[in-house]
Structure 1
Amino acid sequence: MGVKTSEHEILINLQRQPGINQQALAARCFTAKSHVSALLNDMAAKGWIGRHADMSDGRVKRLTLTAAGSEMAARTAHIQAEVVTLMAKDLAHSELLLIARSMTNVCVRLEAALGVPKEKH
């Protein structure tokens, strides 16, 4: 498919939070703004993302997926699901519950560090 892991991460984040700005996206991806900027330029050239001026601050660009970007996000999410299924194939239910609990705790801590509003997990 030729999609980088970092591109997949951006696609999924834009799918989950359309209209996010570049700075917030970089923070969510734990990536330097310059790296995200370069990736976004490449992804825009591929027709996957759109940049739109923020209505309240013209200096800020809001990021969204195009139809092609939404399709690519769905494709990469499907592949990711297949990989996760393969990884978890031989684990006992109790092991999966432990992993889920641990990942929820990690996500809560990361979101708190990023200032993301609390959600139900």
Structure 2
Amino acid sequence: MKSLEDLKKLRDEALKRMNMRYVKNGYRVQIGMGTCGIASGAKPVLAAFLELVEYHNLNNVTVTQVGCMGECTYEPMVEIIDEAGQAFVYCNVTTDMAKQIIEKHIQSNQPIDKYLLSTRKG
């Protein structure tokens, strides 16, 4: 950083990332960050979702981390809860899959059946 302007820009970017985790309306993306999830690669998946939501300027999407999702074999797991309360659980999620989930499921409202572990009404 070389100026106060650089510091302000850094602050604004950090605030934008923090706010992305607390949006109340729209989609909720929950990344399983229990020990098994982290060991299976959930941290890069979380980072990918945060970056993609910011890149696509999706103001109606909350990205958050949750604890163990109870199915260690299927980690990393991501649960998408839509505006109607419908929950979709994706398993063995990679950063490439995160991009597809954002573009197809969240932006086009088309869940990707081949990646789903389950769906349920919330």
Q: The TM-score by the shorter chain falls in which range?
A: under 0.3
TM-score, normalized by length of structure 1? 0.23
Q: Which has the higher helix share?
A: 1
